Amino acid sequence: MRMVTLYDGTPVPVMGLGTWAMGGRSRPDPAQDQRALQALADAFAIGYTHIDTAEMYANGHAEELVGQALRGLDRRRFFLTTKVRPPNLSYRRTLQSIDGSLRRLGVEQIDLFLIHWRDQTPLAETFRALNEAVRAGKLRYLGVSNFDLAELQEAQALSETPIVTNQVPYSVATRSYVRNGVIPYCQQHGIVVTAYSPVEEGRLRVQSVLTAIAAEHKATPYQIALAWLAQQPWVITIPMSHNPEHLRQNWDAAAIELTPEQMARLDGLA
């Protein structure tokens, strides 16, 4: 598995597992619990160790399911990312959100904690809580999500430790964070781009270029879309699937070696 190395030498796999829609979407759906737990178990068996979740996902229930799936496993093998939702960005609520995520995940420390989206709360207030939680050992690394360039730079100035990622929508079909300068800035400054919705939740339009390159590698077009992300410097991605075959295909996509000519053809799709 390809890795991206953080500022302190910690490796993070370029292929992680997203958990949006596991155990429900905006609300918990207990009828989906076994399906979600099986998907997590299948992913762990394949080799996934970076798990991305959020307190917003199923109103905290996705975190609970991740925590349940991790019970009895070696915590040191896993890199856990979660996020605070916008209504909780005040100093007090951010600290409460961190404690809530720790409790639901059943861990003593969260590897990477992100601001999911901004609201009207001054970033300085949120980072007062985040920095305090890092100093207390509750959080290992800090990052942001859906931040434009000015917001990212403000976060860098306020964080006592390096901002290690900006998690943004990025795919062969979605390049808005390239055009607004965020992705080039991250790649130039050693900040990981975490690409979410890398296949548009299974709705990615399969263009002829994807089909042709997939045939050359005996792969699926979706695997080629993921390989294009995984092969870029400072980019990781977090596709989600309940399907064990798709989980395996996503994992294997990180090992596909695209040629410079194939990368250029995919670059030209936007």
The per-residue DSSP string of the chain comes to --EEE-TTS-EEESB-EE-TTTTBSSSB-GGGHHHHHHHHHHHHHHT--EEE--TTGGGGHHHHHHHHHHTTS-GGG-EEEEEE-GGG-SHHHHHHHHHHHHHHHT-S-EEEEEE-S--SS-HHHHHHHHHHHHHTTSEEEEEEES--HHHHHHHHHH-SS-EEEEEEE-SSS--HHHHTSHHHHHHHTT-EEEEESTTGGGT----HHHHHHHHHHT--HHHHHHHHHHTSTTEEE----S-HHHHHHHHHHTT----HHHHHHHHTT-
Helical packing angle, 208-217 and 260-267, nearest 10° = 160
Residue 205, pLDDT score: 81
Instruction: Give the model confidence (pLDDT) of 163-216 as tens digits.
Output: 999 999 999 999 999 999 999 999 999 999 999 999 987 778 878 999 999 999
Query: Rounded to whole angstroms, how far apart are CA atoms 89 and 120?
Result: 9
If one counts every other C-beta atom within 10 angstroms of the C-beta of residue 30, the result is 10
Topology of the domain comprising 3-203+230-256 = TIM Barrel (3.20.20)
Residue 206, pLDDT score: 76
Which of the residues in the chain have pLDDT under 70?
none
DSSP 186-210: HHHTT-EEEEESTTGGGT----HHH
Considering only CA atoms, which of 211, 203, 215, 249 is closest in space to residue 230?
249
Query: Rounded to whole angstroms, how far apart are CA atoms 77 and 69?
Result: 13
Chain position carrying tokens 């395996």: 248
Considering only CA atoms, which of 111, 76, 101 is closest in space to residue 6?
111
Ordered by start, the domain boundaries in the chain are 3-203+230-256
- 270 contact partners, CB below 8 Å, separation of at least 6: 172, 173, 175, 178
Query: Rounded to whole angstroms, how far apart are CA atoms 17 and 42?
Result: 11
Residue 204, pLDDT score: 82
Full-model pTM: 0.96
Structure tokens at 161: 């430790």
Instruction: Give the model confidence (pLDDT) of 248-263 as tens digits.
Output: 999 999 999 999 999 9
